[in-house]
Amino acid sequence: MTELPAHVVTNPRLGTWVTVADGLVEVHVGKVELGQGILTALAQIAADALALPVERLRVVPAHTVHGPDQGSTSGSLSVFQAGPALRHVGAVVRALADPSSPGYVDRVGALDPDTDLTTAPTAGDVPAAAVGRSEPRLDLPDKVLGRPRYLSDLRPEGLLHGRVLRPPSPAARLRSLDPDWKATGVELVRDGSFLGVVGEREVDVDRALEQLARDALWDEEDTLPDETAVAEWLRAGPHETIEVLDEEPPEGALSASYSKPLLVHASIAPSAALARWEGDRLLVQTHSQGIHQLRAAIAGALDLDPTTVVVEHVENAGCYGHNAADDAAFDAVLLARAVPGRPVLLRWTRADELSWAPLSPAMTATVSASIRDGRISGWSYEVWSTGHTSRPGSRATPSLLAGAHLATPVPLPQPTDPPPARGGGTTRNAVPGYDVGPRRVVGHRRVDSPFRTSAMRALGAYFNVFAVESFMDELALAAGADPVELRLAHLSDPRAAHVVAEAARLSGWSEPVPDEVGRGLGYARYKDKGAYCAVVAEVAVTSSVDVRRLTVVADVGVVVNPDGARNQLEGGATQAVSWTTKERVRFDRRRITSTDWEQYPLLTFSEAPQVEVHLVDSSATSVGAGEAAQGPTAAAVANAVHRALGVRVRDLPLDAASVVRAIEQSE
């Protein structure tokens, strides 16, 4: 017997994973559907493990009482972590219930739910039937046919709607509100600077929220840095230093600095949650990535026994990292506390979603290296950022937004970084994947951030890969080498070289293009141990940066669902084009000012590039695909802009203003 999967050791009871109802085997998982199709992929793995067709299974959404604790759904780890656990559970079920004779599902239903998975017998492997097939997504029919499926579609008996009035700026405190404040059809919930309304009719709570915004008076402070000098602000400190490695490289002859602005998740749905206090039990429905951590945070913030708090996952719009889902859940809990026994459906406003949700940090980096006779010799990389996680559970304190505004505040911790074993944050993919001689890589995390920054898809890897891969092209230019040839000459990992060479071949790398068009390539292996991905971008630069076509080649190991993996890579690359060419959180010294879709524009349908995704046939361990393409895409676009324009643009986003600035600086 090989080593037991970690999630089986921590969730050893059979009944936590598998139950039977209505003739279907119910598979309980701790990973959650964020729009990435994970429930379908896990259903495929579970179907093979249980020797059943996918149609005989039902995947049950994560629940703190009825399902396993599998941590948070993040870091492209779901298939990697949940796959082995489900295969083990299936092997035990097959050993105990014999799938080869009639009545198998009934026998599964009759198994003792207290069976210890760590000591139970296991049957041998069975050949894959569902894994490797492009099974259609199980959740899409409801969504495409407009059936209730999302959290905001829940309509339990006695439902009340809720809204929260957030302060106008990060450091604002409530100065005054009439103690007799009233509005039609709602009840006011007030605790320190936390203000909310609940009512039976949505139209009443929306109107009351507008009235409350007019009537509440706030004391505000200027706590934000100068938007035009964020890179300098990041470099000024105070910092915590993250020494990644120091092999004492010689001083580099070439050097360049890059930057990235703050970004926001910008999901199409505002965050929402449903909460109900029932006697001494609290029930919460949430679209959080980590229901167990959320439960602990809620219990910690309100001094409750965690076993009295029940948290269940319900789908909402796409989640790309630590967004406002957890904060919304806590808001709903606070509102529902004022109306015991009644379910409260809380929804954020669009403006709050774009300004109060955790942000993806601004970053800047300086890289230097030398190149002689086509060989890179020595590499120094320093990167500055604020922290890449503020998730509940990443610190001992609860880290729920409303906590900071309560009469007895539960202050928000400074953002930090995930540990190196989980890929780090500021320094994720800061080490180049090339043989570059002695290296020095250092991160500096500014520790007094007025912005609540946290994890967004790929964390620091998006920017670090942009910087490293832009600089690889700068070195190629200095050496008079082809960027693809230079990379291949410095890649010793054959899987890495393969995706780079394939991306070049499939994109027609050496074919001529019109004058205003350029091709550029970017490559990385996500977190140095995840998916290999190379992207070639074809970009036209006229009055704006127009990304026309992306060729994405990825090696994600054994592919569970080829179309699902392609959809994740295609979506990740397209989203990265939006980040790279358009997006930037705007602010003055007091407030975030990009609070609607006009001030925070996303890539439109007309602007979206053609994307071709090629998956490498591989028998290696499966790894996630959702965060592999972001960094390579940013770099590919930047490198293509340089080839089209002859000018290097080092500050994101690569919009018209940034291009003009780079042209001016180059003259």
Partner 1 sequence: MELMVNGSPVALTSDRDTPLLTALRDELGLTGTRFGCGQGLCGACFVDVDGTVVPACQTPVWQVEGASVTTVEGLSRDGEPHPVQQAVLDRQAAQCGFCISGVLVRAAALLRDEPDADADRVAEALDRNLCRCGTHRRIVEAVLTAREHA
Q: Which of 512, 604, 619, 664 binds partner 1 (CB under 8 A)?
A: 604
The nearer residue to partner 1, 430 or 573, going by C-beta atoms, is 573
Tokens of 48: 């093979």
Q: Which stretch binds partner 1 (CB under 8 A): 141-149, 434-442, 495-503, 537-545?
A: 141-149
Angle between helices 38-50 and 78-97 (to 10 degrees): 30
The nearer residue to partner 1, 147 or 589, going by C-beta atoms, is 147
Residue 628 makes contact with partner 1 by CB under 8 A: no
Residue 31 makes contact with partner 1 by CB under 8 A: no
Shortest approach of partner 1 to residue 491 CB, angstroms?
28
Tokens of 407: 């009469």
Residue 98 makes contact with partner 1 by CB under 8 A: no
CA-wise closest residue to 366 among 423, 433, 435, 441: 441
Residue 605 makes contact with partner 1 by CB under 8 A: yes
Residue 425 makes contact with partner 1 by CB under 8 A: no
Site for partner 1 in 381-420 (CB under 8 A): none
Residue 81 makes contact with partner 1 by CB under 8 A: no
Distance (Å, whole) CA 242 – CA 445: 8
The nearer residue to partner 1, 54 or 472, going by C-beta atoms, is 54
Residue 270 makes contact with partner 1 by CB under 8 A: yes
3-state secondary structure of 528: helix
CA-wise closest residue to 657 among 543, 517, 520, 515: 543
Q: Which of 101, 127, 144, 617 binds partner 1 (CB under 8 A)?
A: 144
3-state secondary structure of 37: coil
359-360 and 239-246 strand pairing = unpaired
Residue 592 makes contact with partner 1 by CB under 8 A: no
Residue 148 makes contact with partner 1 by CB under 8 A: yes
Residue 139 makes contact with partner 1 by CB under 8 A: yes
The nearer residue to partner 1, 363 or 573, going by C-beta atoms, is 573
Shortest approach of partner 1 to residue 149 CB, angstroms?
8
How many CB atoms lie under 10 A from the CB of residue 67?
A: 24
Site map 189..208 versus partner 1, x via CB under 8 A:
------------xxx--x--
Residue 137 makes contact with partner 1 by CB under 8 A: yes
Residue 563 makes contact with partner 1 by CB under 8 A: yes
CA-wise closest residue to 539 among 660, 653, 661, 633: 633
The nearer residue to partner 1, 282 or 603, going by C-beta atoms, is 603
Q: Which stretch binds partner 1 (CB under 8 A): 105-113, 242-250, 317-325, 334-342?
A: 317-325
The nearer residue to partner 1, 143 or 589, going by C-beta atoms, is 143
Shortest approach of partner 1 to residue 501 CB, angstroms?
25
What is the spatial order of strands in the sheet that 610-615 belongs to?
A: 517-525, 532-541, 545-555, 610-615
> Hey, what's the torsion of the CAs at 77, 83, 86, 90, to 10 degrees?
180
Within 8 A by CB and 6+ apart from 293, the residues are 71, 72, 391, 392, 393
Residue 145 makes contact with partner 1 by CB under 8 A: yes
Within 8 A by CB and 6+ apart from 439, the residues are 245, 247, 249, 378, 379, 380, 381, 431, 432
Q: Which of 6, 213, 217, 602 binds partner 1 (CB under 8 A)?
A: 602
Peptide bond before residue 653 is cis, with ω within 30 degrees of 0: yes
Q: Which of 106, 114, 251, 596 binds partner 1 (CB under 8 A)?
A: 596
Residue 76 makes contact with partner 1 by CB under 8 A: no
Cα angle, residue 397 at apex, residues 392 and 398 outer, rounded to 5°: 45
Residue 316 makes contact with partner 1 by CB under 8 A: yes
Q: Which of 426, 470, 578, 581 binds partner 1 (CB under 8 A)?
A: 578
Distance (Å, whole) CA 15 – CA 67: 8
In sequence order, the β-bridge partners of residue 441 are 245, 381
Shortest approach of partner 1 to residue 450 CB, angstroms?
26
Distance (Å, whole) CA 434 – CA 375: 11
375-385 and 439-446 strand pairing = parallel
Residue 150 makes contact with partner 1 by CB under 8 A: yes
Shortest approach of partner 1 to residue 537 CB, angstroms?
14
Q: Which of 153, 220, 240, 485 binds partner 1 (CB under 8 A)?
A: 153
Residue 528 makes contact with partner 1 by CB under 8 A: no
- Helix/strand number for the chain, H first, E second: 17, 23
Residue 515 makes contact with partner 1 by CB under 8 A: no
Residue 350 makes contact with partner 1 by CB under 8 A: yes
Distance (Å, whole) CA 527 – CA 74: 13
Residue 608 makes contact with partner 1 by CB under 8 A: yes
Distance (Å, whole) CA 175 – CA 190: 13
Site for partner 1 in 34-53 (CB under 8 A): 34-37
Residue 61 makes contact with partner 1 by CB under 8 A: no
Residues in the interface with partner 1 (CB under 8 A) total: 63
Tokens of 215: 């009537």
Residue 245 makes contact with partner 1 by CB under 8 A: no
Shortest approach of partner 1 to residue 291 CB, angstroms?
18
Q: Which of 290, 571, 632, 653 binds partner 1 (CB under 8 A)?
A: 571
Shortest approach of partner 1 to residue 570 CB, angstroms?
6
Shortest approach of partner 1 to residue 461 CB, angstroms?
17
Q: Which stretch binds partner 1 (CB under 8 A): 61-69, 347-355, 381-389, 424-432?
A: 347-355
Handedness of CA 280, 283, 284, 290 (dihedral sign): positive
Contact in structure between 392 and 400 (CB atoms under 8 Å): yes
Inter-CA distances, 55 with 26, 29, 441, Å = 11, 17, 50
Residue 256: exposed, middle, or buried by beta-carbon count in 10 A (0-12, 13-18, 19+)? middle
Residues of this chain that interact with partner 1 (CB under 8 A) are 34-37, 134, 136-137, 139-141, 143-150, 152-153, 155, 201-203, 206, 266-270, 315-320, 347, 349-350, 563-564, 567-568, 570-575, 577-578, 596-598, 602-606, 608-611
